[in-house]
Structure 1
């Protein structure tokens, strides 16, 4: 991290402990003899996973000093065994014995980097595609009318959920009114018009998305301790999805604003969850219907996440509205981009990945 601007150590420690306490509150309770449904999320340096006398022993990593490291021990068939183990920006090690143990117990291991991008997904069931479902993907993509219908329905559902997010989480304003009206028009057009190609569907999506995020402009972010640890002026309010860290080209990657960093991270966690589910259901994650991609890219998962995005937006908007942040919660990189602190990333991953699964 020598090229990054980092908070003073004492405040970094305070904020790390704060997000640790917040994450503990998410764990909740469950009924007697009910299998744990929430993932185990690990982060920091020195994460260790090994099999000892038939049990899985895990030691969480270090993210700040002083910190008491957490140890976990799971027995085979243990009701406390998580369905997924997610590592976030970790260093450390594990053995082949661990992979075999996880596969036997039906536990998926997901490894994310600091941006929330998937480094690897080790699914316990491997990849055994269902020929019927893969044939449906291939035939739907090859049939122009079916592909257009799929895309129009997908984007229509996305805009409908965006409308709910606008109404419930964005304060009334002229821009909110415009975005709501454009969303309603877009939903109606997608349901009733005939389209010649995908570009016409994308044009409606783009118009609605532009108005949607424009309605977010001016949202205030609460900060504390700014005299001790100042934050950039641009972090006081939300201005848009594009990142200043990418130069003149308007792109959403390499977020330069904390809200966009939270969104990008939450989207990445959701992509991993959807990919695991799609593989488990027998779909080919690389065979997109609406989306296209380079060989090996999860194009079908990019299809699936479209209606999920406004739901994630709602969670992040509620999260931002509820919390007062510190400059110690984020790290400014040498290119002007910002990243979440490890414990904040861990907390966001728990919020997003811990939601109930939908069919």
Structure 2
């Protein structure tokens, strides 16, 4: 597999072929538009040498380079242009933009988000600015401060999250004893939340945790198809899904710093969804840092972390279907020196296109 910056001539060829393939895959996923409808698809930029600048009142964008040979995509948007997207997503990479660009984007209602290669949000700038809705923020504050209301909100959130996991299990996970167990746990958790009053947050988290553990346990053994591995092998554990926790974290059972391709795609997809929801929360007038269930830590989008719980199963379903339909190659992933698995830039673009 590919180590950071360690490419042989053969791997350069593989990288170019796979990058071009995923670029075509992402382009094919763009939604259709109605007559005189503003472009609903976000503009996704990645690679090295990304450039955004304002030139004679227009926004001029150059996409980055991810492989050779590659033609650099260029865009020119005029104010109120129907082709102008409402969101621009920067996927890692490198490049430049100016203060004039930020002002131009704000004036045109275009949000800008950047996601690191590790699958974490680096920054989000809402195109509408943050104009809080006083009633919504007061509701967030009151619900957070009142333990009874907070518990009711958390119980409903977790119940709805568990309910949303059932179709993903039924449609995307093959019949097995583990899947039956996951469905039983989910239905038992829903029933308990329906008939019992849960008096504290830790107990709610325990119910959620039991269901989540069974849910991901049912994924164990899901196959991942590969090609070209006779010439460029991949780790043996990459041939099937082996759990949500990452081996790159040592003995700590954490989902960050994925060591398996499916988990790397999940983490990236969650980050893309989180960025989209953060933009929407700001536009809708909520305080994105004021969570009901999640605690704010160093300005984290705690409210959005609450809301994304209802979307995780749908993201999971999209990734599971994607994995089932695709055959991967070693050049699609990068292994860093500490054992973390990351997506190639163009595969990251394809995954982001699935979610946006």
TM-score range, shorter chain: over 0.9
Q: 2:246 aligns with which of 234, 243, 246?
A: 243
Task: String of CA shifts for 1:181-231, please: whole Å, max 9, x gaps.
Answer: 110111111122101101111111000001000000010000000012110
Tell me which stretches of 4 or more aligned residues in structure 1 moved more than 3 Å: 1-7
1:47 aligns with 2:57: no
Q: What is the aligned length?
A: 353
8 Å Cα contact 2:31-2:41 kept in structure 1: no
Secondary structure of 2:203's match? helix
1:168 aligns with 2:152: no
For 2:197, the equivalent position in structure 1 comes to 194
Secondary structure of 1:50's match? strand
- 2:161 & 2:184 partners in 1: Cα distance? 15
- What's the Cα RMSD here? 1.3
- 2:297 & 2:81 partners in 1: Cα distance? 41
8 Å Cα contact 1:286-1:295 kept in structure 2: no
1:145 aligns with 2:144: no
Task: String of CA shifts for 1:288-340, please: whole Å, max 9, x gaps.
Answer: 10111323121111101111111100000001001000010000110111000
Report matched runs for 1:46-65 at 5 Å: 46-65=49-68
1:234 aligns with 2:237: yes
For 1:278, the equivalent position in structure 2 comes to 281
For 1:318, the equivalent position in structure 2 comes to 321
Relative to structure 1, the CA distance from residue 5 to residue 207 in structure 2 (aligned partners, 3 Å threshold; closer, same or farther) is: farther
Relative to structure 1, the CA distance from residue 205 to residue 6 in structure 2 (aligned partners, 3 Å threshold; closer, same or farther) is: farther
Structure 2 unaligned spans of 5+: none
For 2:129, the equivalent position in structure 1 comes to 126
- Give the alignment's TM-score, normalised by structure 2: 0.96
Q: 1:260 aligns with which of 260, 263, 267?
A: 263
1:136 aligns with 2:125: no
1:109 aligns with 2:112: yes
8 Å Cα contact 1:4-1:334 kept in structure 2: no
Secondary structure of 2:293's match? coil
Structure 1 unaligned spans of 5+: 354-359
Task: String of CA shifts for 1:16-70, please: whole Å, max 9, x gaps.
Answer: 0000110111114222211110100000000111112221111100001111111
Task: String of CA shifts for 1:153-174, please: whole Å, max 9, x gaps.
Answer: 1011110111110001000000
Moved more, 209-218 or 138-147: 138-147
1:17 aligns with 2:20: yes
- Give the alignment's TM-score, normalised by structure 1: 0.96
